[in-house]
Structure 1
Amino acid sequence: MPSELDARRLIPALTLAVLLALLRRAPGAPLGDTPTDIPAGEPSGEEGEVEGPSADTLKVLLESLLRTTKRHRMEFADEFHGQVRYDVLSHYKISALPANCPRSNFSKEACLRRMLQFLEVYFSVLKVVAKECPGSTIPLESKYYSSLLIKELHKQVGDVAPTAGPGQQLLQEMEASDSFHRKMMAHSILYKAHHFLVDGKTVISKRERSRGGSSRVTVTFYTQKLK
């Protein structure tokens, strides 16, 4: 019999398979550095068709990335054995990262555009973040989900201002730092990414509630045998 933990892990796996099926049918060129491997634990087994309501693609991708970034707090505590407070990361100023979406007086469209700008910078530095956090799978998983989110956001808001400059600037700032501050900057980037996504999700959900409801579609997804 599958354990309760296995069952909980299967739910996001199935949801991601829905998204992958939808994204494969969507037009548009993939990112040049987009990961092709599904993170461990995602479905890769038997195919099956099930009809039913599907969550909005953007929402599910955002939730998948949030589940990944949420683990950072625990990993940080384990690495520093409680000797460094987690919230100290909020004091690191990283000007290259766009500011969080304000929770009031900010439209959904404006938040989506800012989220796209943030994720493109975030995506560009994750390889360096991974080097500074070698025991963590968060950078790799973030890169995977961010690539899908960037693609979906481009579909929804079109082109935005190029972000290669801020990403390059952040990489240069990290390279110029000593080993300790480079590590703390890497952790701060993961910290700020999580809080940015939380605020973005709040703004998007609030604006969608004010518009009332969302559409439902019929989808095909993959099933996986639990061991």
Structure 2
Amino acid sequence: MTTGEHISHKFDEDVEEVTTSVLNMGGLVVQQIEKSVKALLAGDKEMAEEVIEDDLKVNTFDVDIDEMCNSIIVMRQPTATDLRLIMAIIKTTSDLERMGDEAKRIARQAIDISKRGAFPEQFDSIEQMSTRVIGMLNKALDAFARRDVDESFNVIQVDKKVDKDYENLVRQQITYMMEDPRKIPVAIDLLWSSRALERIGDRACNICEYVIYLVKGKDVRHVEIKELKKHL
């Protein structure tokens, strides 16, 4: 094996290792989101506190993966294409860390609601929204693992439905608050939680945009769906 082949082989091994770490981090973030929403719907204070405590694990992944990427850049001196891959990994990790923060925010709202006493009839919309968002994130991670442009495009399309879910939920909660001022504190908590879910959906789209950039070499941030389809 020549020196060049040896370096290339080591680079591939390093990338495989860091990619596995990113997917493990993504799996943990998915669990955090699922648990935070479950705590919100059930008024489960203990589960919500677990989400807040486990955010440290997400942050540890973030730091460790960042260090691994820095080491790859220094030790392997990747070419332009390989450097694009490392940058996509770093950006994906950053978005996952922020999704973890959003899950922690939902958990805090869950604790607040558990103290006040919730109105179960208000939870249907946020449960539907969370299911859609978690599905987006799972598919985004799958697209990242397989470098799947088509799956990435499909996830980005779903974000419009999440935005619509959020708009509907906001209107619903405003109606509840107008009809019964006693529901205002809980409604505000639900609005914050739905906003957190909407942001998680946006960050799932970001991951898909990194995949498209990695595979196609096209920066599709801020590109409308119709234009994006032309690019692909």
Superposition TM-score, scaled by structure 1 size: 0.28
Instruction: Please say which structure displays the higher CA radius of gyration.
Output: 2
- Hey, which of these two has a bigger chunk of helix by percent? 2
Q: Does 1 or 2 have the higher relative contact order (CA < 8 Å, sep 6+)?
A: 1
